[in-house]
């Protein structure tokens, strides 16, 4: 009892001392932040908030107001130039839109991805998602080992063999669109192409037939939840400390677990089938497992990396291609002259064929230009970042080491100094005889860490768009917005609502 009374007597003093320590720690942190910021004050950039720690306008506030973070980066790049400082607590971000610096940094393997962003993508609220896969691995040797295992699954020879799946899944979409055209029902094109691209990646990567245009599955909802969770986790570092957000955080964790347990189950089933000598599909999963088995030192950690990468393909393999397709349909609907030119090319190359060949894709030159111009204006994975440990001079400005270089594909694609009249949708910018953009157009990033699946994605997009243009006339439903939703990836806010009609081949 005496001990308890003594503790009660000391408790106020202990709390006072603890509070004093917290105040001292906070002031020390503020001084540290001030010291960091002073090193970079000579770099042009937006004024800081009135917030005690002197941040630039914060990402979370922009998003809460329904804004596009990359639109803000564009505004700053136009105002402050190719090098723009952004303060975020004790981090200093430098938005870079200088082609020479872009070339030097992104084409080199010595600049790692920044720790802050990619660690938070690896684990969402403490639940592993992308882990240390190709996207998030910061150590070059670790990344290279994984890339060596996965590269054969994306070779040009193997991709040629996927044309059958691309055609088959695109045909299912055409059947669904035919139903909507016959019933005069509006089509939400973003939703429909999302179903198709997820069908494709699960089929060609895992040999699993979801057929989402006909069936329901918890996987699309889980992917959407994880994507939203990624944005929140990276851009609002205080989100998880708010008790009101506990329910949402648990939902994100559960979605992460669903994707990883589903992927782990598919990997396990395939490994058992291979060990038993059963016939297995020649898909990406089989390719990766066969290559991995040739490695002499395949560890349990390596198997986790494999799962990390399959979850990455699961998310990125459908989301980015679906958004590109939706934006492409949106822009073609807004530009009837470009739409008509693309249709004529498809008619000349594809004609009435239902099966599009790999060689046909190379002949769809104008459609390629349309897809490239879509990615210039709407890069669905809109940026990347690198940690720069050493001092660097960019566009004549000396920048002390220790900063994070931001590269926004959205910004570089919309700057007047790189593209004349950048807000005009003009596929002729990518005509074979037009001058090539110099390190200002790189929607799949650049260098050794560029997107492994870029050829896969563009083949898939071409097949879907060619079949759509071959079979249907479409018009955009009036009154919808053409705004961009920044949800980590960029997507059409309206979903791209269209009315469809079968094409009249008699008047072709």
pLDDT of residue 311: 86
pLDDT of residue 115: 84
Under 8 Å between Cβ of 129 and 259? yes
CA angle 28, 124, 297 (to 5 degrees): 105
CA distances from 387 to 93, 136, 283 (A): 9, 13, 35
Under 8 Å between Cβ of 386 and 113? yes
pLDDT of residue 313: 83
pLDDT of residue 371: 98
CA angle 323, 327, 331 (to 5 degrees): 170
Tokens 């950690």 locate to 301
- CA dist., res. 361 & res. 339, Å (int): 18
- CA dist., res. 271 & res. 93, Å (int): 44
**Domain range summary for the chain, segments of one domain joined by +:** 28-507
Helix axis angle for 246-275 and 300-334, nearest 10°, is 110
Under 8 Å between Cβ of 478 and 333? no
DSSP assignment string, 149-162: HHGGGG-HHHHHTT
CA distances from 25 to 30, 53, 169, 203 (A): 9, 13, 58, 53
Tokens encoding 500: 């469809």
Give pLDDT tens digits for 355-364: 999 999 999 9
pLDDT of residue 506: 47
pLDDT confidence tier of residue 381, bands split at 50, 70 and 90: confident
The sign of the dihedral angle between the CA atoms of 163, 164, 167, 172 is negative
Tokens encoding 8: 């009660």
Give pLDDT tens digits for 71-120: 889 999 999 999 999 888 788 899 999 999 999 999 998 999 888 888 88
Tokens 């922009």 locate to 62
479 has pLDDT over 50:
yes
pLDDT confidence tier of residue 147, bands split at 50, 70 and 90: confident
Tokens encoding 452: 């492994």
pLDDT of residue 135: 86
Give pLDDT tens digits for 254-284: 999 999 999 889 888 888 888 888 888 877 8
Q: Is 226 annotated as a binding residue?
A: no
3-state secondary structure of 84: strand
CA angle 190, 195, 350 (to 5 degrees): 80
- CA dist., res. 56 & res. 60, Å (int): 11
Q: How much is the mean pLDDT over the chain? A: 88
pLDDT of residue 33: 82
4 has pLDDT over 60:
no
Query: Which of the residue ranges 12-26, 207-221, 237-251, 289-303 would you say has the lowest mean pLDDT?
Result: 289-303
pLDDT of residue 139: 84
pTM of the model: 0.91
pLDDT of residue 492: 93
Neighbouring C-alpha atoms within 13 Å toward the C-beta of 365: 8
Give pLDDT tens digits for 100-113: 999 999 999 899 98
Give pLDDT tens digits for 205-231: 888 888 888 888 898 899 889 988 888
pLDDT of residue 29: 81
Q: Helices marked H in 295-334 — which ranges?
A: 300-334
Identify the residue with better confidence: 374 or 313: 374
- CA dist., res. 311 & res. 487, Å (int): 19
CA distances from 20 to 13, 14, 213, 250 (A): 10, 10, 61, 34
3-state secondary structure of 389: coil
155 has pLDDT over 80:
yes
Nearest of 429, 492, 408 to residue 75 by alpha carbon: 408
Nearest of 455, 444, 360, 445 to residue 157 by alpha carbon: 455
User: For strand 383-388 and strand 403-408, is the pairing parallel, antiparallel, or unpaired?
Assistant: antiparallel
Q: Could you tell me the fold of the domain covering 28-507?
A: Cytochrome p450 (1.10.630)
């Amino acid at each position: 009892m005496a001990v308890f009374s003594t503790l009660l007597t000391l408790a106020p003093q202990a709390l006072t001392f603890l509070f004093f320590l917290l105040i001292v720690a906070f002031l020390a942190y503020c001084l540290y932040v001030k010291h960091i910021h002073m090193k970079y004050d000579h770099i042009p950039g937006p004024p800081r908030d009135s917030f005690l720690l002197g941040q630039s306008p914060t990402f979370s506030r922009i998003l809460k107001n329904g804004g596009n973070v990359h639109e803000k980066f564009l505004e700053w790049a136009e105002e402050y130039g190719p090098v723009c400082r952004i303060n975020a607590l004790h981090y200093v971000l430098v938005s870079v839109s200088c082609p020479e610096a872009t070339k030097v940094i992104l084409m080199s393997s010595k600049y790692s991805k920044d720790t802050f962003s990619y660690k938070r993508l690896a684990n969402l609220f403490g639940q592993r998602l992308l882990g240390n896969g190709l996207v998030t691995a910061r150590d070059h040797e670790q990344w290279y080992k994984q890339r060596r295992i996965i590269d054969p699954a994306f070779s040009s020879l193997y991709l040629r063999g996927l044309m059958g799946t691309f055609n088959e899944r695109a045909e299912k979409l055409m059947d669904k669109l035919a139903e909507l055209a016959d019933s005069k029902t509006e089509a939400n094109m973003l939703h429909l192409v999302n179903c198709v691209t997820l069908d494709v990646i699960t089929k060609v990567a895992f040999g699993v037939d979801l057929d989402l245009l006909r069936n329901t599955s918890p996987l699309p909802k889980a992917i959407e939840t994880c994507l939203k969770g990624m944005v929140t986790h990276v851009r609002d570092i205080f989100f998880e400390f708010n008790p009101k957000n506990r329910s949402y955080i648990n939902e994100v964790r559960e979605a992460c677990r669903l994707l990883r347990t589903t992927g782990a189950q598919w990997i396990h089933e395939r490994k058992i089938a291979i060990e038993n000598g059963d016939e297995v599909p020649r898909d990406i999963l089989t390719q990766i497992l066969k290559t991995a088995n040739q490695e002499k030192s395949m560890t349990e950690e390596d198997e986790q990396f494999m799962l990390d990468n399959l979850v990455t393909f699961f998310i990125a393999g459908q989301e980015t291609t679906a958004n590109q397709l939706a934006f492409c349909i949106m822009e073609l609907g807004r530009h009837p002259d470009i739409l008509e030119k693309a249709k004529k090319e498809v008619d000349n190359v594809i004609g009435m064929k239902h099966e599009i060949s790999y060689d046909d894709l190379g002949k769809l030159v104008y459609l390629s230009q349309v897809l490239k111009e879509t990615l210039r204006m709407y890069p669905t994975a809109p940026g990347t970042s690198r940690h720069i440990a050493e001092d660097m001079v960019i566009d004549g400005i000396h920048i002390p080491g220790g900063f994070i270089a931001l590269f926004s594909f959205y910004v570089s694609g919309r700057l007047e100094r790189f593209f004349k009249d950048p807000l005009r949708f003009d596929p002729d910018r990518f005509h074979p005889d037009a001058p090539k953009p110099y390190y200002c157009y790189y929607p799949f990033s650049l260098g050794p860490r560029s997107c492994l699946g870029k050829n896969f994605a563009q083949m898939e997009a071409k097949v879907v768009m060619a079949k759509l243009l071959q079979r249907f006339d479409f018009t955009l439903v009036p009154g919808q917005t053409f705004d961009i939703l920044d949800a980590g990836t960029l997507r059409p806010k309206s979903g791209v609502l269209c009315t469809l009609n079968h094409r009249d081949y008699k008047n072709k």
